[in-house]
Each structure stands twice: as C-alpha cells, then as structure tokens.
Structure 1
Amino acid sequence: MKKRITSLLLSVALIGGMVGHTQVEAAPKVTLKEYSNCKEINKIYPGGIARSSTVKNKGGATKYKPFVNQKLYDLNTKSDRDNDLIACER
C-alpha cells in the first residue's frame, strides 16, 4: 500500500513538473572589458560590479543592485576603492 501511494505521489509530481515547465532563457553575454573609471562602469552597470552574489557593501545604503560577474570584477578591481568586492557601487 505504501509503495502504491509513494508511486502515485511521484507520478503526480513528475506530471505537475512537466505541465508547469517553461523554457529558461540564457543569460545575456557579458563583454569582458576593463573600464577606465566608475563613470564608464555605471553607464552600463548602475549598481557596479560585484565579484560574487554573497558580498556585502561596506558603505552605506546603495540605490542599485550590483551586477555579479567574477571575471568582469577581476578586470576592474582598481575601481573597488573600499575593497568590499564591489566595484563602483552606488
């Protein structure tokens, strides 16, 4: 009896997952570029560039959420003046 219930629940879950399935769009390609200053970075990335999604801003409240990309951040580390792993946050 328990096997039948488990099998029935598993079948319902699988069918429900198929019905609600939507196609996931690929993330847009990021152009890896070294920017000369924060003004250039903020034109494209208003919240700046974060090295990872887990970093915290050391400064006060920010207006925008930073774009997360480790390679792009690594190219622009010179723009991270407070060394909080977010370049040009605002």
Structure 2
Amino acid sequence: MKKSLTYVLSFALLLAVAVPVSTQSVSAAAKTYKNCTELNKDYKGGVAKSASVKNKGGKTKHKPFVSAELYEANKTKDRDKDFIACEK
C-alpha cells in the first residue's frame, strides 16, 4: 500500500513539474524572423495560421507548417494576406 502511494505521488509530482516546462517550449517557438529567407530555412513551406487556410497564389512546392503563434510573430511577412507567411 505504501509503495503504490509513493508511486502515485511521485508520478503526480513529475507530471506537475513537466507540464510548465512543455508550455515554456511552445512559447519559445514563436521566433520572429528577419525575412522570408531566414524563415524558409527552418520552414520550407512557410508558416500557416491554421490547417484550413488556402494559398491564393496557386500550387506550392512545400506544405506550410501550421502554428498560429508562429504566424502571429511573423505575419508582416504575409504579403498577399492569405494567412500563410513566406509560402513557397
């Protein structure tokens, strides 16, 4: 009984410590890039605000990475305002 209580408490403590760490790594992903060349080095297809957005310019070579937070940090690079920044 004491062992199982110890395991449960240890797991709860580990979970409580791990959740804030993963939240911090998501916010660190919202990097602002200097230009589209720099952004396309990390994300070849650009960055889309959501998975349901469509490209206005037609067919692209690469599928965009979907991240609303990363898009918001780099939305000045979305020249055609189709909610995909730096699409290729």
The answer to whether TM tops 0.5 is yes
Q: Could you say which residue in structure 2 is the equivalent of 1:37?
A: 35
How many residues of Structure 1 are paired with residues of Structure 2 in the alignment?
62
Among 20, 43, 46, the residue aligned to 2:44: 46
Q: Deviations over 1:15-37 (max 9, x none)?
A: xxxxxxxxxxxxxx552101010
Q: Could you say which residue in structure 2 is the equivalent of 1:83?
A: 81
Unaligned runs of 5+ in 2: 1-24
Q: Could you say which residue in structure 1 is the equivalent of 2:13?
A: none
Following the alignment from structure 2 to structure 1, what is the Cα–Cα distance between the partners of residues 84 and 58? Answer: 13
Following the alignment from structure 1 to structure 2, what is the Cα–Cα distance between the partners of residues 41 and 53? Answer: 18
Following the alignment from structure 2 to structure 1, what is the Cα–Cα distance between the partners of residues 42 and 78? Answer: 16
Q: CA RMSD in A?
A: 1.0
Q: Deviations over 1:65-85 (max 9, x none)?
A: 000000000000000000000
Q: Deviations over 1:40-68 (max 9, x none)?
A: 00000000000000000000210000000
Unaligned runs of 5+ in 1: 1-28
Percent identity, please.
58
TM-score by length of structure 2 reads 0.68
Following the alignment from structure 2 to structure 1, what is the Cα–Cα distance between the partners of residues 76 and 70? Answer: 12
Please identify the structure whose Cα radius of gyration is greater.
1
Runs of 4 or more consecutive aligned structure 1 residues displaced over 6 Å after TM superposition? none
TM-score by length of structure 1 reads 0.66
